[in-house]
A and B are shown apart, each in its own frame.
Chain A
Amino acid sequence: MQNNNEIILKAINKSYQKGDNTVVVHDNFNLTIKSGEFVALMGPSGLGKSTLLHLMGGLDQPTQGEVWIGGQRIDNLTQKQLTQWRAQSIGFVFQSHHLLPVLSAQGNVELPLALTPLNRKQRKEHASMALQLVSMSERADHYPKELSGGQEQRVAIARAIVSDPQILLCDEPTGNLDRKTADEILALLAKLNSELGKTIVMVTHDNKAAEYATRVINLESYILSQNKAQAEAQNNKMNKAEVSLGSNL
């Protein structure tokens, strides 16, 4: 039985074509993230950390395997269904905040609410609340160009949580920030996890960032151990088959 916000990746194969070659990113990859966890995905570049995040958020689809989020299988949904599902279930925070320069902080945070049936007043209230959570109420009327990098990222986090998704997917959220600002952002994410119970998956290269997580997965060793476990399971299976064959003979 899966919990509400549990993330399960089952036997994921992900590959893509590069010219005549097929590049395999993940081969028979499995991962379960429990509801309410704050997981830091770490490891060297090229291992497919962001790919995993995109698979969890329905931005990408596996070549083979299953992706289950909150008890719903999403890898077989159409693009239209995925878009609707994302609007309700997932909040994204990227390394580049991608705030719209033509909208104020308030406007940017209200943006995802344009997809909801909330009226203008309700949208305003929700956005104000989200900005308050990230301590940006005083800057609500400021435009992105008038904000610092840390403030922009705070607004991006407010935008990610405004429609109250239970899962936050963060791709290098502190990659462009100085240490002090990065710590503030990480503390904010930890607060969202501990106080509001958001399940957070964060891709990061920053060892310090990982300290804020409740679980750290080093993808390189995780894959190695997974492969070893799979190999052992395979050997055990073969041994059992040999024993069974010998006794029959």
Chain B
Amino acid sequence: MNIWLLVWRNSFRKKIRFALTCVSIMVAFFLFTALAGINHALTASVSSINQYRLMTSHKISITRSLPINYQQKIAALPGIERVSYASWFGGFFQNEKNQLAVTAVEHTSYFDLFDEYKIPKQQLAQWKKTRTGIIVGQSLANKYGWQVGDKVPLSSSIWMNRSGSFSWEFVVSAIYQSNKQGGDKKIFFQHAYFDKGRAYARNSLSWLSTKIAPNADVEQAIKSIDSLFTHSNSPTRTTTEQVFVQEQAQQFVDMAMVINVVVIAVFFTLLLIVCNTMIQTIRERLNESAMMKALGFSSSSLITAIYLESLLLLGIGAVLGTLLASILLGFIKQSLADFLPGIYISPQHYITVFALVNIAAAFCSFFPALKIKSIVVSEALGGQS
């Protein structure tokens, strides 16, 4: 017999109460971990973005197109190093369940701006020469078994081609890798092929990417670009790439904030539930605690035992919840790989869970500790005469 055995046995004394409390702890830590993984995906894409890249889209909405000659006009402005452009193709492979992030990009300049995509030089050169060529991310190539030279038909739910079909023929010219987590799940093809091939909206683009000189004034560059088109039919809105991505992710981030608030509320309620459970526990065992004091156990050893009991309860719930969320995120990661890459639970999260469990255990033991401290053995064990 030792104090650990006593803690273990006492924990499982009221099995149903233990199980129900454990499940509520599990749910709270499940939410906490699942949210952390999704939050990582939402914020990771923003954090590693080049501050000196600007994004220009239509002032009203990114779904409205801009004239293709905007590239030259922006390039002529002082402090501008390079300008490229792209259009959203969307697309899917074979059936609509296999949605893909396909973008038509200006092939001569785009990858000079976006050097985070690691493309073998030879393959890049080949792609520039191949009108129907696509550059595919390594993950996608692995997923569909694509190799350089393979012919790949992709369909778009937006863009019809001149032959009246939504199916576009491509050939894999290059396979890229990315140092950004989840960044190798995109497909790029030549804007020229897209522009000539589509049935409508020719000579237009979805957005422009501009690289400014490292010593240039970002604010000034943004003003210069937008003022250039203020009175045109297609006024623009320019931001840094960081702001652009943040705005796209804003709807998710806001949702994350709402979930965060809910999780905090759940945690707080949980803390009260566990705290109440522990107070109830110590009340039920008041006589036993008094007897242990009479036997020579100090208040601090009894408080340690109740802390360990709280720790065990919270620990089991937290481990189960975190484990369940990790497994589930693993599945979600696979299915949302194209649209929400970067779902990831960092080692720091596990440290946070560990710290939270300890803090919560200390908090939940506080009131029982006061109760233990205040036990008057002679009163608790009761004099009969």
Interface residues of A (CB under 8 A from B): 43-47, 49-51, 53-54, 57, 59-60, 79-80, 83-84, 86-88, 92, 94-96, 98, 100-103, 106-107, 110-115, 120, 123, 127, 159, 171-172, 175, 203, 205
Contact = CB atoms under 8 A, between A and B. Distances in A.
Interface residues of B, number: 28
A129 to B, nearest CB: 15
Residue with the highest number of chain A CB atoms closer than 10 Å, among B1, B2, B297, B378: B1
A88 B296 contact: yes
Interface in B18-74: none
B1 A102 contact: no
B296 A203 contact: no
Contact of A54 (B2, B9, B293, B383): B383
A53 B384 CA distance: 11
A151 B48 CA distance: 72
A45 B382 CA distance: 13
B265 interface: no
Given A45-B385, A102-B10, A172-B385, A83 B296 contact: yes
A138 to B, nearest CB: 19
Contact of A205 (B1, B287, B385): B385
A112 B295 contact: yes
What 7 A-B pairs are tightest by C-beta distance, nearest first? A87-B296, A50-B383, A102-B9, A110-B1, A98-B291, A54-B378, A49-B385
Contacts, number: 95
Residue with the highest number of chain A CB atoms closer than 10 Å, among B2, B6, B295, B297: B295
21 contacts: A44-B385, A45-B384, A50-B378, A54-B377, A59-B377, A79-B299, A83-B297, A87-B297, A88-B296, A96-B287, A96-B382, A98-B291, A100-B6, A100-B288, A102-B13, A103-B9, A107-B5, A113-B1, A115-B295, A203-B384, A205-B385
Contacts of A80: 298
A43 B385 contact: yes
Interface of B: 1-3, 5-6, 9-10, 13, 287-288, 290-299, 376-378, 381-385
Nearest to A111: B1
B339 to A, nearest CB: 52
A79 to B, nearest CB: 8
A83 B293 contact: yes
A104 to B, nearest CB: 9
A92 B294 contact: yes
B288 A86 contact: no
B319 to A, nearest CB: 23
A86 B5 contact: no
Contacts of A107: 1, 5
A80 B295 CA distance: 13
Given A98-B290, A203-B384, 5 more contacts: A50-B378, A60-B378, A84-B296, A87-B297, A112-B295
